[in-house]
Structure 1
Amino acid sequence: MLTGSHRFPRQDLVTYGRPAAQALKEIAAQAGLKRLMIVTNRSLANSLARQLAAELGELCVGVAAGVGAHSPRESVMAGAEAARRLRADVLVALGGGSVIDATKVMQLALWAGLGRPEELDRYRAARSTPDRIDTARIPPGVRVIAVPTTLSAAEFTPFAGVTDTARRTKEGYTHPLLAPRAVILDAAMTRHTPDALWFSTGLKAIDHAVEQLCNPLRAPYADALAADGLKRLASGLAACKADPADLDARQACQFGMWLAISGAGAGRGLGASHAIGHTLGGSHGVSHGITSCVILPAVLAWNASADTGQQALVAELMGAPGRPAAEAVRDLARALGLPTDLKAIGIGPDTFQAIAEHTMHDSGVRANPRPITGPQDIVEILQLAAG
């Protein structure tokens, strides 16, 4: 397994190939941090979180284990309150995208002194009312160190999605320093991640790469990262399926995920697969990895008439030269035991119009290679994904 570290603009440090506890102790010593609070979900509370807390010893002042799926506002506020009570000087986000996104917004709640879920309203990225607060003007304080256990890539971005459970919508939050100050990629911490979660978040990482590569605006830097990331992910996920204990394959997937998301800041935006996925996640509770398994093949098929050759590149990078890109993605998802149509996840045609109308508000619609002119285009994509 490779070992080392890498510095890049969004984080102070990305470290890999070392045990997470060792890396955390070194980072804490270098930064003068003495009170680490682990943030996680209930499924990891009595396994990885307990193990990590024990290895950290007196450095760990507590574990906040209540983060729910899709990062509910209530989880954010409960975690922020625990951090205040424990006087934590850094939050350690241990888990997948929901845990990491929730912990990123906990920072915002701590910096701004927020205590109730509804107080987040004025800080939403998409809010355009006069009372909206510019989060960039909030002085930062307690930061996050991320120890991811999935391939969601939430740890590499300066924005987060949190669910308003009352409105059943996923809302975005951002700040220049919202991304964790350090990311620890320890493949061993992923060994107990359920296969369905590991593989589906791997398909989400593939979605990041594919929608960048197919974007009509070319950006060579982002293309190179996405292409290398896609190739590593496709081969790494297949290797993990063959041998779940293969830590080199798991680290290859982590590197692929890191590469695939790193070009997303090139300003081109992601497309309709992500846009529809946001709606299915916030309004229907479908995990974002599963949305990619189901929606990305349909989006690729719908976009095929506007393709300029990038879909052939996608198929080649996935080890399926000459095949339609939609089939390459769908075949991989099936080989990994994942659902590939809406019927399999309980989404029926009676919901398509509402999903389409909601999705039209997502910025991903405007970055799609084939122009989306209205809700009916989204309905066509959903019909292709229906099963």
Structure 2
Amino acid sequence: MTRKTPLFDAHEAAGGRMVEFAGWTLPIRYGSLVEEHRAVREKAGVFDVSHMTVVDVRGSGARSALRRLLANDVDRIREDGQAIYGCMLDDEGGILDDLITYRIEDGFYRLIVNAATREADLAWMRERLADDDLALTERDDLAMLAVQGPLARAAVAECMNAPVLESLKPFRAVVHGDLFIARTGYTGEDGCEIVLPNGLAADAFAALLDAGVVPCGLGARDSLRLEAGLNLYGQDMDTTTTPLESNLAWTVAFEPADRDFIGRAALEAQREAGVPRRLVGLVLGAGGIPRAGARVLTADGEGVVTSGGFGPTVERPIAMARIPAGTATAVEVELRGRRLPARVVKLPFVRGGKILDGVLDD
């Protein structure tokens, strides 16, 4: 039986087409996926992301425990309200999950983890942190909204009476009454993610829609994050891949050298030996839409499409693919027995509503 978020009735009232995702019932779209996608690129859209798991870590041992648990280093956080993004790894350097970690205050951190990995994440954390002086609490009393797009912050500031958002820096959060509002997102656009009590979610959602923010579903969320080159756990990365082969080397804090985080030895060995695979963008012409699992044929060996689809902003088929390390710039993607030419490009395809140089080159 799938779970429902506090906004289930609101989604149905707004015409949401509901589907099962990671054990939850969520809207895939309300009307046109392309229109929802463009609303976020050009104005503002709101997503129900209450299926994400909020985990609070408190106690005198929280800092040292998270420095061991995460590949990124919470000591990179310089002030309360600041966040870092990174991965939680197993002993072999495989990615258990990617997550955002906020420092609320000394000895109090908030983690946002993926819905699909919720149970495994919590079990791993509790096992690895059992001897630390801390309390780990899953906050299932909280919902979460993502408001994304160039007009998103202004809309949230007005609807939530939170003018402080106008000056909030990226990867910073503020506590505003019962709301925890962060300048983060998963679309490649500016915006906010709002963590709030379940009982307040429906009114906040309604206020945003009344202000002209467009309700958006999972379909637009996926096409937006694909164009932005953002990994989806379970497709673009998992325990069989490391951050170094997932375009996430920048999230691994190897310094200071004496921080012994889980998976460090495996990553150092891979870095020294040479990373065997890389995650790249592919741009295709007419002939088919690339999907996860499609073979990619390169001069350096065989790879695989990890995510693919039609990019509404770039107006052509695009994909993320893991291919052998090398210099290949022209490859072929196998779709239904046909081999279609594709260009290798650096991710992302789109940032801040703009198509990046090189993506549309013929």
TM norm structure 2:
0.30
Q: Which structure ranks higher in relative contact order (CA pairs < 8 Å, sequence separation ≥ 6)?
A: 2
TM norm structure 1:
0.29
Higher strand share: 2
